[in-house]
Structure 1
Amino acid sequence: MSTTTTEELSATTLLRFATAGSVDDGKSTLVGRLLHDSKSVLVDQLEAVERASASRGQEAPDLALLTDGLRAEREQGITIDVAYRYFATPLRRFILADTPGHVQYTRNMVTGASTAELTVILVDARNGVVEQTRRHAAIAALLRVPHVVLAVNKMDLVGYEEKVFAAIAEEFTAYATELGVPEVTAIPISALVGDNVVEPSANMDWYGGPTVLEHLETVPVSHDLSHCHARLPVQFVIRPQNAENPDYRGYAGQIAAGSFHVGEEVTVLPSGRTSKISGIDLLGEPVDVAWTTQSVTLLLEDDIDISRGDLIVPSKDAPATTQDIEATVCHVADAPLTVNHRVLLKHGTRTVKAIVKDIPSRLTLDDLSLHPHPGQLVANDIGRVKIRTAEPLPVDSYSDSRRTGSFILIDPNDGQTLTAGMVGESFASPEPVKDEAEDDGWDF
């Protein structure tokens, strides 16, 4: 069990990271080893893993069971759902998302990496870079994850050969660089044995870089979002029946980016009405300033029509509203996404009707070529789409804001999530063709 004190935790930074890789690359074992060797596992958890391992005829504890908590995961020996784990060292606190490796569950990797500042992509040293490795690298690039770690696992099964590691690292780094990944750190490991996970490996004296934990503890992480575009998606309007303040009207939500100040002039979108912030309530107490991720209530000087789904922004930094959205998407549903598909688009706290007007291209992961106008996207495809919404939306570019530059498409019939989209992100898609689709009554 970790011995990190409360005083030490108060002085540490937070890193959100995700793991990804193909089936049997050893993600869950790596996470289990990371938790075990950093002494972040409770005694009763370890005892439960030891009992479960013994019942399956294993001599040593199967550390993958520390994360594979679902019964179906234990029975099949694969990760199905995103498993979140929280642990800490004296240097940093961590929120870890262990994502599935099976191609069927690539959609879960999008969920796990969407808020990550770092992604650990595992590769089996015996197999090298495979299609699923390339898919995970593409998703990390699309989601603009600033740091990627290539963990070349199972080095013990290739005799700890440096040339094997070097070849895989070179191939992956070249591919990731083409995708626009800003930084790749390659580390040779054996999650099963523990080489270079928490402790340096005595079997790979040719490697002089950090262990996985050392890199996680020291990689630079910036949480200074004060210079980002300030955005507050309104979740609900507060009108308490309070005799002391009968005119109280507050607009509550979680600040998606930037900061808000009392006295600041703001604009409400999509209506375009303006006012000034007369007060900010945080946990029931008035404050002069509030910033990203805080859940607050804004009070305005003027009584204007604001409801759930509206976006409050500084007037000097208001995004344009539009009904035409171009984006790169990762399709996550089993049913395909097609041209003229009628969908619901959820952006922030607002959901509107929309139509897929065109699918200009689909990305081919092998060579990063673009297949023009495929007509549809199937599960796990990455492609470019053009969408027309029934109402104007204030969208940012995903490169400017991961929160207000993203959206999801929803099936209006059953509420199933179809697609995750990043506004403005592109792999240099080909020139569009004129949309010659017939009017079907959903043109906006």
Structure 2
Amino acid sequence: MTGNPLLAELARAPRLIPWRNWSGAQSCLPLARLAPKDLDELVQVVRQAPGKIRPVGSGHSFSALVPTDGTLLSLSFFSGLLDHDAATLQAEFAAGTPMSRMGAPLKAIGQALPNMADIDYQTLAGAIATSTHGTGVGFPSYSAQVRGLQLVTASGEVLDCDSNRHAEVFNAARVSLGALGVATRVRLQNRPAYRLRERQWIAKTEELLEDVAKNTRENQHWEMLVVTHSDYALSIALNETADPATPPTDPAQEGGNEFVSLIENLDKYVSDFPETRRVLLNNLRHFANFQDRVGDSYEIYANVRSVRFNEMEYSVPAEHGPACLREILKLIRDKDLRTWFPIEYRYVRADDIPLSMFEGRDSCSISVHQHYGMDHHNFFAAVEPIFWKYAGRPHWGKLHGLNARQLQALYPRWREFTQVREALDPTGKFLNAHLSSILGVA
């Protein structure tokens, strides 16, 4: 142990440094916060660190995946493009690479991710661990693009996994919640680099729901941000184009940020007057002016999110998306639930990963948000039973109230994952209280 400076530091019981996530809703005071500089150092830490270990990325998960009183393990030194293959259009990245730092290196080798989420703050390992996704009926989550990965297990063994090597581990590790070990390298299936055009417009929510089939058929990527307490939504369509890039825009105006700011300011003054609020919100459409944006795909997918919030998201079978959203909006209206953040409505293609929210079914993902300064507990608790009614599966990185008994009924291949976890980590070195609850580990 004395030969490793990180472990020597741990043995001296250094000053404890608190950790919290992006929204501030999750926090902990770990015994140690370590950032190994290479694979050998990482293996030593995993083998010898006392107590529990939780890997941590950018802290953008809203659920309690990270908090521990043991060791927080950062992969901040595991970053960057490691290898690529021009023939297969595959590229391998260090698992701690922020998604925001993948687009430019991929472009330099003529590649791009087939799809991206609208936030790129996450690390690659964190994004695949939670099946993070973008939108588009023809596009699955990041996890479905994984073709290989390297995993350091609880015993310190280094496994190089793909569909031929340690196939059972590979299948489970593509969405693992960080419960199988520490991912260090990830190989992704990409496509040739491309540009996108973003078009935004405001329309009545009900009209957009009636036109879901048309909007998803005519656009590669379509979503809407539904303005609560109003009759309207911001519709966003992204499509591949060969047109030249448009001049850069103010990040505050991207992805509807300017529109969201208007809604926030309105909530401050008229939330106590529901009918007045609805009239004013409905009339905001007359002040909104959206210009098309064209640019490299990674520049168009991701948006600056400068307003912090907490989030709950469930994915329901795609055919139930409109009905589920209508019930949520009716509840908010009938109960006059205090919220102003738009509801995000997206589509994701099915995959074959045991613990993916999209395993075996095309899905509609619906996200409800609450400003970080407002209490989210009562609002989320009121909405969540509607998701359950439609057999919704919660996003692993976002807030929900389910435990293992309820979750395993939603995942036909649940046992396939838990068997791999039990084999790789029989003592629960990579578990915390939240993971023990949702995975059913005593």
Q: Same fold (TM over 0.5)?
A: no
- Whichever structure has more helix as a proportion of its residues is 2
Q: Which has the higher contact order (CA 8 A, sep 6+)?
A: 2
Q: TM-score scaled to structure 2, two decimals?
A: 0.26
Q: TM-score scaled to structure 1, two decimals?
A: 0.26
- Whichever structure has more strand as a proportion of its residues is 1
